[in-house]
Amino acid sequence: MIDEKRSETLLLERTLQRLFDETSYHVERSPCRGKFRGHNDYSIVFGSGRKLFIGQDQRNYLSGLRKQVGLIQHFRDHQAENTEKIKAALAAHNTPFCDAAVEIVPYNGSTDLVVYGVVILTHQSGAQLLYRETAMHFYLVDGEKHGYSFDKCMAHLLKDACGERAYCKEFPLKTPLPESEKRPRPMMPYKTITLRLDAAHYARLTETARTAGLKIEPMLRQLIMGVNLRPRPPDTYAALLRKLNAIGNNVNQLAYQANARGAATQDEIREAARLVRQAVRLVRNTL
């Protein structure tokens, strides 16, 4: 029995490596902190550095692998089809986008494969935008099984990409270079202005820049170009999203099993309720 589980584990790990277009991987165990102290998070770290969270504690590792393989397999099986559907919807609504592609991109500013199913939009000007949104991700990796319909996901994409672009970022995502690799920039024909502020205005300016996670000059440039600045989310949000994603996967699996049988067992109901309470505690402890 142990040999069978080990064989299945290796097969699933290598399947994930293949489906994510990687050439190598290793399993990483990280001790949890805070309320989950004493437990361990298990992730697969691929050769490229991208990391996929599998589950908490060894006993959940194999079931976590099965879920992740099912999700990425669905993504790959329908990747070309979904790309064409999105292109058709963009054309039907007379948008300024001339092309689209469904791709896998780690979460913004990290190597974590959380909400990794994204849509790359190409503007008529040639610029590209990366659209990342939770409902669209779950549609891309799991279809319409749990209420994530294509029409609703596409309606949100159209509204955001052609409006505020709260879920869109410039693509390719820019990764800061290490200090040792930075080179002096050539002098550009910039115009210099002098701005005098009293103490109150200067305090407001520096606080706005700090909240947005920007230095003053880049912030002012963005404001001049009409960018709607938003507060930079705390670093703890990425870890929270990763754990909530794992809990959501567990709940979805319970719902899938119950739907296949036409009814849920008492154990499944209790487990689903426990997972929901766990998610609520996570949010309360983080926010």
Q: Map residue 204 onto helix, strand or coil.
A: helix
pLDDT at 54: 92
pLDDT class of 224 with cuts at 50, 70, 90: confident
Three-state secondary structure of 121-144:
EEECCCCEEEECCHHHHHHHHHCC
- Model confidence over 160-200: pLDDT tens digits? 988 888 898 888 865 555 555 556 656 556 677 888 888 88
Q: 129: which residues sit within 8 A by CB, 6+ positions away? A: 120, 121, 123, 161, 165, 168, 169, 170, 171
pLDDT class of 234 with cuts at 50, 70, 90: low
Task: State if pTM tops 0.75.
Answer: no
pLDDT class of 70 with cuts at 50, 70, 90: very high
Q: Is the pLDDT of residue 80 over 80?
A: yes
pLDDT at 233: 64
Distance from C-alpha of 157 to C-alpha of 117, rounded to nearest angstrom = 13
- The half-sphere exposure of 256 on its side-chain side, counting CA atoms within 13 A, is 14
Asked whether the beta carbons of 122 and 99 are under 8 A apart, the reply is yes
Angle of CA points 46, 50, 53, to nearest 5°: 90
pLDDT at 250: 73
- Model confidence over 109-137: pLDDT tens digits? 789 998 899 999 998 888 899 999 999 99
Helix (H) or strand (E) holding 103: strand 97-104
Helix (H) or strand (E) holding 29: strand 25-31
- Model confidence over 143-161: pLDDT tens digits? 887 788 899 999 999 999 8
Residue ranges of alpha helices (H) inside the chain are 2-19, 61-92, 134-142, 150-161, 199-212, 216-224, 236-261, 266-286
Q: Is the pLDDT of residue 240 over 80?
A: no
- Return the higher-pLDDT residue of 179 and 14: 14
The span from the first CA to the last CA of the chain, in angstroms, equals: 43
Distance from C-alpha of 287 to C-alpha of 145, rounded to nearest angstrom = 30
pLDDT at 174: 56
Instruction: Give me the sign of the Cα torsion angle 49, 86, 79, 124.
Output: negative
- Return the higher-pLDDT residue of 234 and 247: 247
Q: What are phi and psi of 79, to 5 degrees?
A: -60, -50
Asked whether the beta carbons of 229 and 223 are under 8 A apart, the reply is yes
| Mean pLDDT on 231-249 | 69
pLDDT class of 103 with cuts at 50, 70, 90: very high
pLDDT class of 255 with cuts at 50, 70, 90: confident
For the chain, the average pLDDT equals 83
- Model confidence over 259-284: pLDDT tens digits? 666 677 777 777 777 877 777 777 67
- DSSP state at residue 256: H
pLDDT class of 5 with cuts at 50, 70, 90: confident
